[in-house]
């Protein structure tokens, strides 16, 4: 993993809430890449991983 810092941040976010690790990792990597908002069709990811629900 070339972005160990983001991996650790995703673990922290995941442990602090109810988010699934892969959702938290996607959100953290996208955020680090400059994405201001990550859209998803997954209601769980929208509620727990800091993503926005695409309707």
pLDDT in tens, 16-48: 777 788 888 898 899 989 999 999 999 988 888
pTM (global) more than 0.85: no
19/29 Cα distance (integer angstroms)? 15
| 30: Cα separation from own chain's centroid | 8
């Amino acid at each position: 993993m070339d972005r160990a810092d983001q991996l650790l941040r995703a673990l922290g976010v995941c442990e602090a809430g109810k988010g699934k690790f892969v959702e938290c990792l996607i959100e953290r990597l996208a955020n680090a890449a400059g994405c201001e908002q990550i859209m998803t069709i997954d209601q769980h990811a929208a509620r727990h991983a800091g993503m926005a629900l695409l309707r």
